[in-house]
């Protein structure tokens, strides 16, 4: 029997050396007698049939004595730990590479890629630890997620009903549908917007990771329009502006709530995420303009009806019309638009930055 040298393929990481010996059904006797050199005596099927094989490598730097190896039907995988965790310029002390040795391209990584691999592994480990500690710390997590899922589902169904109802009526009745939007959808809108108060309470209770103030601006802003402008003035209820306000609100919500529902179960649909983080760009300013038109249209009605007017002391006149409060509110609306537009822009940036980092 002749003693042969097998083909050996190698790759490295900062802490390890991987050797792959092309032998089938092999058994290995290996010993690293004097670091930095190692000598291996596999026995198995190689290119020339069943034979004892041998090869030795004088490593560039010292390695640890413990060597692990695993024989499979096709090859022998050997893992050797470096004494010091650092990147080697080459495997062997001698500069000229032995003839039987070649890079293992299945495992090969350049130094920067190996660093990235370590970084990714560390990030994954940290993420796992933080998820585990969150789960361990919060015994009510399932209950909270269940509540949020149900809340978002109910809102999604409510706004979908409004959206579909308005769309169907628009197709059937055309512009005539503008005039009775309120009478056909207001009850559902009242329900959804009253429920939406929970969106201010949820972050206060720590159920969602979001700012209270943007949610307060959103909910308070819409409820002023719905309950004060449309709800209390019969003359506003059959104006086309109701159609535009309700349609703009429900268009965003039929994407936002299912997006949250999927977030509750740890899923996301790229298309839905795209709509959630992009649709507000045209819709939010349009929504504020539509709401501003509603406020402006209501001013003369409040002046005329004196509804909600503030009684003044004798000598200062009869009463102060609510329209003055609404004029101040108009300024607040554009301030609110600015604050929330900035908030939504930051959320979008954060989302896409996070995505890009995950993709690398
Ligand atoms: C102080 C008194 C103020 C008085 C009022 C002053 C005037 C106000 C004028 C305001 C004008 C309003 C105009 C408006 O009504 C017009 C329109 O709406 S037009 C239609 C277009 N509109 C929109 O696009 C806005 C839609 N609304 C929103 O996006 C939100 O309401 C908003 C608060 C603006 C932003 O949402 P949020 O801060 O919650 O951001 P995220 O969605 O990214 O959520 C952050 C993280 O929390 C998780 N989250 C949030 N909510 C839920 C939930 N219900 N269920 C489950 N999870 C939830 C979310 O997943 C995020 O988690 P992570 O960070 O892990 O991704």
Contact 34, 25 (CB under 8 A): no
Which of 212, 230, 259, 260 is the pocket-test mutation for ligand 1 (most atoms within 8 Å of CB)? 260
pLDDT > 50? residue 356? yes
Largest CA distance in the chain: 123
What's the pTM value of the predicted model, to 2 decimals? Answer: 0.69
Integer CA distances (angstroms), 68 to 77, 81, 93, 153, 314, in order: 8, 9, 22, 53, 97
The reply to whether ligand 1 has any atom less than 6 angstroms from the CB of 336 is yes
Ligand 1 pocket check for 263: Cβ under 6 Å = yes
Q: Which atom of ligand 1 is nearest to the CA of 287?
A: 19
**177 CB within 6 A, ligand 1:** no
Q: Tens digit of pLDDT for each residue in 165-207?
A: 999 999 999 999 999 999 999 999 999 999 999 999 999 999 9
Rounded CA separation 263/321 (Å): 46
pLDDT given at position 341: 94
Tokens of 193: 């917007």
Per-residue pLDDT, averaged over 313-341, amounts to: 91
Residues involved in catalysis? 284, 291
Query: Which one is predicted more confidently, 353 or 22?
Result: 22
Mean pLDDT, the chain, rounded, equals 89
pLDDT band for 139, please (50, 70, 90 cuts). Answer: confident
* Helix or strand (DSSP H, E) at 7: none
pLDDT in tens, 142-164: 899 999 999 999 999 999 999 99
- Rounded CA-CA distance 320/36 in Å is 93
Stated as kind and residue range, the H or E segment containing 36 is none
pLDDT, tens only, 206-228: 999 888 999 999 999 999 999 99
Give me the interface pTM, i.e. the ipTM. Answer: 0.95
Domain ranges, ordered by start, for the chain: 8-106, 111-137, 139-359
Ligand 1 mean position to 215 CA, how many Å? Answer: 5
Mean pLDDT of 24-48: 66
CATH topology of domain 8-106: Immunoglobulin-like (2.60.40)
For residue 209, the CA-to-ligand 1 centroid distance in Å is 11
Closest atom of ligand 1 to CA, residue 263: 60
Cβ atoms of 68 and 62 closer than 8 Å: no
Closest residue to atom 40 of ligand 1, CA basis: 210
């Amino acid at each position: 029997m002749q003693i042969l040298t097998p083909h050996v393929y190698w790759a490295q990481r900062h802490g390890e050396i991987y050797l792959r010996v092309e032998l089938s059904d092999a058994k290995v006797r290996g010993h690293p007698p004097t670091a930095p050199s190692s000598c291996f005596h596999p026995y198995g099927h190689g290119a020339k049939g069943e034979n004892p094989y041998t090869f030795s490598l004088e490593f560039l730097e010292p390695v640890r004595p413990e060597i692990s190896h695993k024989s499979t039907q096709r090859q022998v995988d050997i893992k050797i730990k470096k004494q010091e965790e650092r990147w080697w310029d080459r495997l062997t002390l001698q500069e000229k590479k032995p003839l039987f040795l070649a890079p293992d391209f299945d495992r090969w990584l350049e130094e920067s890629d190996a660093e990235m691999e370590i970084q990714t592994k560390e990030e994954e480990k940290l993420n796992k630890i933080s998820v585990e500690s969150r789960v361990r710390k919060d015994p009510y997590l399932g209950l909270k997620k269940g509540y949020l899922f149900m809340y978002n589902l109910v809102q999604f169904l409510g706004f979908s009903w409004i959206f579909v109802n308005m769309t169907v009526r628009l197709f059937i009745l055309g512009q005539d549908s503008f005039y009775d939007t309120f009478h056909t959808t207001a009850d559902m809108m009242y329900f959804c917007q009253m429920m939406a108060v929970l969106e201010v309470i949820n972050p206060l209770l720590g159920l969602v990771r979001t700012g209270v103030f943007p949610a307060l601006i959103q909910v308070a802003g819409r409820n002023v329009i719905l309950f004060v402008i449309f709800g209390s003035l019969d003359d506003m209820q059959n104006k086309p502006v109701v159609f535009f306000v309700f349609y703009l609100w429900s268009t965003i919500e039929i994407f936002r709530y299912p997006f949250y529902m999927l977030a509750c179960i740890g899923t996301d649909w790229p298309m839905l995420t795209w709509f959630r983080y992009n649709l507000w760009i045209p819709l939010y300013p349009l929504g504020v303009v539509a709401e501003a038109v509603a406020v402006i249209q209501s001013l003369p009605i409040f002046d005329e009806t004196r509804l909600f007017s503030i009684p003044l002391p004798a000598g200062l006149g009869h009463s102060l019309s609510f329209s003055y409060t609404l004029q101040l509110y108009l300024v607040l609306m554009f301030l609110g638009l600015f604050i929330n537009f900035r908030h939504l822009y930051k959320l979008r940036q954060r989302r896409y930055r996070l995505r890009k980092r995950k993709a690398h």
